[in-house]
Structure 1
Amino acid sequence: MTAKQQMKYGRLIPVMLCFFAMGFVDLVGIASNYVKADLALTDAQANIFPSLVFFWFLIFSVPTGMLMNRIGRKRTVLLSLAVTAVSLMLPLFGDGYGLMLCSFSLLGIGNALMQTSLNPLLSNIISGDKLASSLTFGQFVKAIASFLAPYIAMWGATQAMPTFGLGWRVLFPVYMVVAIIAIVWLSSTPIDEEKPDKASGLVNCLKLLGTPFILLCFIGIMCHVGIDVGTNTTAPKLLMERVGLTLEEAGFATSLYFIFRTAGCLLGTFILQHLSARRFLAVSVVCMLVAMVGLLVSEAHYVIYVCIALIGFGNSNVFPIIFAQALTMVPDKKNEVSGLMIMGLFGGTVFPLLMGVASDAVGQNGAVAVMSVGVIYLIIYTLRLKK
C-alpha cells in the first residue's frame, strides 16, 4: 500500500465511525416501543417519537447546507456529534415523557446536521464513479449501529444488574461513548475540503426543487425513510398483533430488518461497481413490493419474517443511489443539494404519523398500506432514471 493510499484510508476510517454514529437515530424505532409499553401509550401517541426525531430534518437540513459554506463540512460534522452525545446523555436521568421528547428532539437535530454534512464530507475523500458505492458502504456501517440497538436494549431490559438500573435505556450511554470517540478521532484527522459553495440563502436553496429531477429525488428520499422508519416501528407490532409475541420476542424483527439492510449495503458496495444504479434500484424496489403484498395477505410468522428481510434488503441502497444521482445532477451546489436531500428525511415524520392513525383504525395492515404508497412511488422514480 502506497503512502497516498495509507493517508486516504487513514482519513476514511474516522469518517466511517461517524457513519456508525449516524445510525444511532434508528434506535428510535425500538425505543418508541419500549416507551409505549412503559407509559401505556397508543400507536398514534408512541409514533410521535420517531415523527419528532425526523421533524427536525425539515427545519435544519437546508440551513445546515448553508452552515457548511461558512464553517466547513468537518466542523459541521463535529457539531452534529456533540449534539448527538448530549441527546444520548439525557435518558440517564430518567424515562419521563418530557425527558424522552427532549432526548429524541436533540437526537433528530444532531442527525439532521450529521446526515447533511457527512455525505458531502465523504466526497472530499472519495469522488467520481466510486462515490455511490462508498456512500453505500457508509450506509452499511450505519446499519451495523441500527441492528445492534434492539439487541442492546433487549439485553438491558432482561439483565438488571449490569445495566445499573437503566434497563433498556443502557442503549443510550453505550452509544454516547462511541459518539465521544468519534468526536476526538475526527477532530484530529486532517481533511482537505473543496472550496465552499457560493453563499446562498434559504430561498435559493429551495429553488433547486424547481428542477424536476431534484424534486423527484427529494420525494424519493421521503419515501425511502418513511419505509425505513415505518418498518422499524411496525415490524414488532405486526408480530405482537398477529402471532402474540411479547415485545422482547418481537424486537428481533427490528434486528432482522437491519441485518438484511446491512447485508444489502455491503453487497451493494460491490454490485454498484458492476451494475447500473437503475437496474439495481429496480431489483431493490421489486423486493419491497413483494414484501408489502406478503405483509398484507399473510399472518404466518415465517412469511412475516421473510417479508421484513426483503424490505431490509430492498431498502438498503435506495438512499445512496438517490443521493448520488442528485449530487451528480448539480455538482456545483453539493452543500445545498445535500441539505435538500436530507430535508427529505422529513418523510420519517409524515409516514409514522399516517401509519399510527391507520393502524389505530384498522390494525397494522393500515400501516403496511401507507408504506406501500412509498414503494409505488419508488417504482415510478426508478422508471425515470436514465439507463
Structure 2
Amino acid sequence: MTTTNKLKYAKLVPIMLCFFAMGFVDLVGIASNYVKADLNLTDSEANIFPSLVFFWFLIFSVPTGILMNKIGRKKTVMLSLVVTFVSLLIPVFGDNYGVMLCSFSLLGIGNALMQTSLNPLLSNIISGDKLASSLTFGQFVKAIASFLAPYIAMWGATQAMPTFGLGWRVLFPVYMVIAVIAVLWLGATPIEEEKPDKASGFVSCLKLLGSPFILLCFLGIMCHVGIDVGTNTTAPKILMERLGMTLDEAGFATSLYFIFRTLGCFSGAIILQKVSARSFFVVSVICMLLAMAGLFVSDAEAVIYTAIALIGFGNSNIFSIIFSQALLAVPEKKNEISGLMIMGLFGGTVFPLFMGFASDAMGQDGAVAVMTVGVIYLLFYTLKIKK
C-alpha cells in the first residue's frame, strides 16, 4: 500500500464514523413506538415524530449547501455533530411529549446538516466511478447504527439497573458518546477540500430542479426515504396487528430491516464496482415490489419477515445510486445538488403522515399501500438512470 493510499484510508475512518453518527436518525422509528406506548398515542399522533425529524430536511438542506460554500464541508459536518449531541442529551431528562418533540426536531436539523455536507465531503477523497460504491459503503456503516438502535432500546427496556432508570432511553446517551468521539476525531483530521462552488442563493439552488433529470432524482430520494422511514416505523406495527406480538417482541422487525439494509449496502459496495448502476437498481426495486405484494397477500409470520428483509435489501442502495447520479450530472455544483437531494429526505415527513392516516382508517394495509406508491415511482426512475 502506497503512502498516498494510507493517508486516504486514514482520512476515511473518521468520515465513516460520521456516517455511523448519521444513522442515529433512524432511532426515531423504534423510539416513536416506545413513546406511543408510554403516552398512549394513536398511529397518526405517533407518526408525527418521524415526520417532524424529516420535516427539517425541507427547511435546512438547501441553506446548508449554501453554508458549505462559506465555511467548508468539514466545518459543516462538525456543526451537525454538535447539534446531534444536543438532541441526544435532551431525552436523558425525560420523555414527555414536548421533550421528545424538541429532541427529534434537533435530531432532524443535525441530520439535515450532516447528510448535506458529509456526502460531498467524501467526494473530496473518493471521486469518479468509485463514488457510488464509496457512498454505498458509507450507507453500510450508517445502517449498522440503525439496526443496533432497536437492540439497545430493547435492552434498556428490560434491564432496569444498568440503564440508571432510563429504560429504553439509554439509547440516547450511548449514541451521544459516539457523537462526541466523531466530532473530535474529524476535527483532528486534515482534509483538503475542493474550491467552493460559486456563491449561490436559495432561489438559484431551487432552479436546478428545472433540470428534468435532477427533478427525477429529487423525487426518487423522497420515495426512498419514505419507504425507509415507513418500514422502520410500520414493521413492528404489522406484527403487533396481525400476530398479536408485544412491542418488545415486534421490535425485532425493525432490526431485521436494518440488518438486511446493512447486508445490502455491504454487498452493493462490491457489486457496484462490477455491475452497472441501472442493472443493480432494477434488481433492488424488484425486491421491494415482491415484498409489498407479500405484505398485502399474507399474514404468515415467515412471509412478513421475508418481506421486511427484502425491503431492507432492496432499499439499501437506492440512495447512493440516485445521489451519485445527481452529483455526476452537475459536477460543478456539488454543494447545491447535495442540498437539493438531501431536501428530498423530506419524503420522510410526507410518507409517515399519509401512512398514519391510512393505517388509522384501514389498518397497516393502508400504510403498505402508501409505500407501494413510492416503489412504483422508483420502477419508473430505472428508465432514466445513466448506465
| Distance in 2, Cα, partners of 1:3 & 1:256 | 40
| Distance in 2, Cα, partners of 1:385 & 1:258 | 26
1:17 aligned onto 2:20: no
Q: Secondary structure at the match of 2:161?
A: coil
| Distance in 2, Cα, partners of 1:10 & 1:293 | 44
Q: Secondary structure at the match of 2:164?
A: coil
Match runs of 1:1-80 below 5 Å: 1-80=1-80
| Distance in 2, Cα, partners of 1:67 & 1:384 | 31
The C-alpha deviation readout for 1:347-381, integer Å capped at 9, x for no partner, is 00000000000000000000000000000000000
1:376 maps to amino acid = I
Give the corresponding residue for 1:167.
Answer: 167
The C-alpha deviation readout for 1:166-205, integer Å capped at 9, x for no partner, is 0000000000000000010000000000000000000000
Give the corresponding residue for 1:321.
Answer: 321
| Distance in 1, Cα, partners of 2:333 & 2:30 | 36
Give the corresponding residue for 2:265.
Answer: 265
| Distance in 2, Cα, partners of 1:50 & 1:121 | 26
Shift of 1:384: 1.7
Give the corresponding residue for 2:337.
Answer: 337
Q: Secondary structure at the match of 1:6?
A: helix
Shift of 1:3: 1.3
1:184 maps to amino acid = L
| Distance in 1, Cα, partners of 2:313 & 2:15 | 24
Shift of 1:4: 1.0
| Distance in 2, Cα, partners of 1:229 & 1:297 | 22
The C-alpha deviation readout for 1:104-123, integer Å capped at 9, x for no partner, is 00000000000000000000
Match runs of 1:1-387 below 5 Å: 1-387=1-387
Q: Secondary structure at the match of 2:41?
A: coil
**Contact map agreement 2:325 2:386 (CA 8 A) in 1:** no
| Distance in 2, Cα, partners of 1:335 & 1:258 | 29
Shift of 1:297: 0.9
CA RMSD of aligned residues (A): 0.4
The C-alpha deviation readout for 1:260-301, integer Å capped at 9, x for no partner, is 000000000000000000000000000000000100111001
| Distance in 1, Cα, partners of 2:155 & 2:356 | 27
Q: Secondary structure at the match of 2:244?
A: coil
In structure 2, stretches of 5+ residues that fail to align are none
Q: Secondary structure at the match of 2:304?
A: helix
| Distance in 2, Cα, partners of 1:174 & 1:296 | 37
2:146 maps to amino acid = S
1:134 maps to amino acid = S
**Contact map agreement 2:296 2:365 (CA 8 A) in 1:** yes
| Distance in 1, Cα, partners of 2:82 & 2:386 | 40
Identity between Structure 1 and Structure 2 (%)? 81
Shift of 1:386: 3.0
1:118 maps to amino acid = L
| Distance in 2, Cα, partners of 1:38 & 1:367 | 22
| Distance in 2, Cα, partners of 1:219 & 1:201 | 22
Shift of 1:141: 0.1
2:265 maps to amino acid = C
The C-alpha deviation readout for 1:134-182, integer Å capped at 9, x for no partner, is 0000000000000000000000000000000000000000000000000
Which runs of 4 or more aligned residues in structure 1 lie more than 6 Å from their structure 2 counterparts after TM superposition? none
2:305 maps to amino acid = Y
| Distance in 1, Cα, partners of 2:183 & 2:324 | 26
| Distance in 2, Cα, partners of 1:255 & 1:48 | 21
In structure 1, stretches of 5+ residues that fail to align are none
1:107 maps to amino acid = L
The C-alpha deviation readout for 1:10-38, integer Å capped at 9, x for no partner, is 10000000000000000000000000000
| Distance in 1, Cα, partners of 2:125 & 2:133 | 13
Q: Give the TM-score of the pair, scaled to structure 2.
A: 1.00
Equivalent residue pairs, number: 387
